Amino acid sequence: MEKHEFMYPDGETRDTALRRAIRRVRSVADTYRHNDYETIETWLEYAVRDNNLAAARYLLAAGLPPSIYDHTGYESHVAVCVRCNMPEMGALLRKHGARLPGYAWRDAQNMVDYYNHPSRTDVPHQVERRKLWESVISPDKAECAQVSTYEHCLAAVDYIETYPKAVTPSWPPRGVLQHPPPESLLPPSTHLAILDLWHAVGVHRRAEAKALAPRNWARVRLWLRVRAVTHYWQGVTQERQCAPGGRGRAADLAAYRIEFA
């Protein structure tokens, strides 16, 4: 059983420490910042709609998962990128686990077919655009970013389409500053919101580690049992091979005769 399946079984409704940690992260993400109608998630939404790559890159690198729907609840961020012809932003979102809806996938494939036309395959700029659209459709798994918690490894979570390779081993994310770059045009209170997010996600990660401890100890006990059985049968095999008439004794005798004959 995978780690995310062990911690988040289907139909689990008990109010555990892990569930409380999840609610804490979501409440931090939904807390109003800067004014009475902006949250961290709406900052990402505005960055996507304005094609502000610096702001989106910073928020995603800081651990904010890309939501599948904006505040209207009708259109995903990646679908906005496809509709507004923003392949670089779409590729960035897909790298961090955003899902590509089916209707937007068809439009993105049409863009790939457009740039695959023989009249455009030799133009460097258009070749680069085609590669970006291909990254929107199927991002390179080797370049996909790691996620912050095992909850985001679940295929059932809205903004994850496939299982990411790994959860980031360190938290807060390495190389991400508290203050956003000036070109991101994010409000001055961004660093306070990021600190709150990092603290809430840290609590979530510790709750996941505690919930995962029984599985880890069970794997250690299984490994020790397998090790004992393996050593036993390895000893039995060596005894039979080295017994009179055994293949090991015959091979050793032949090697001795070749060496000292």
Domain ranges of the chain: 3-212, 220-260
Radius of gyration, alpha carbons of the chain:
27
Whether residue 8 is predicted with pLDDT greater than 50 in this model: the reply is yes
Examine the pLDDT at 156 and tell me if it is beyond 60.
no
Neighbour-count burial of 174, counting CB atoms closer than 10 A to its CB (0-12 exposed, 13-18 middle, 19+ buried) = exposed
Q: Is the model's pLDDT at 120 over the cut of 50?
A: yes
Q: Are 80 and 69 in contact (CB under 8 A)?
A: no
Residue 253, pLDDT score:
85
Give buried/exposed letters for 134-161 (b at 16+ CB in 10 A, else e): bbbbebeeeebbbbbbbbbbbeebebbb
pLDDT on residue 146: 83
Q: Is the model's pLDDT at 12 over the cut of 90?
A: no
Look at residue 10 in the predicted model and tell me its pLDDT. 65
The pLDDT value recorded for residue 155 is 42
Residue 160 is encoded by which pair of tokens?
Answer: 């994850």
pLDDT for the residue 157 = 43
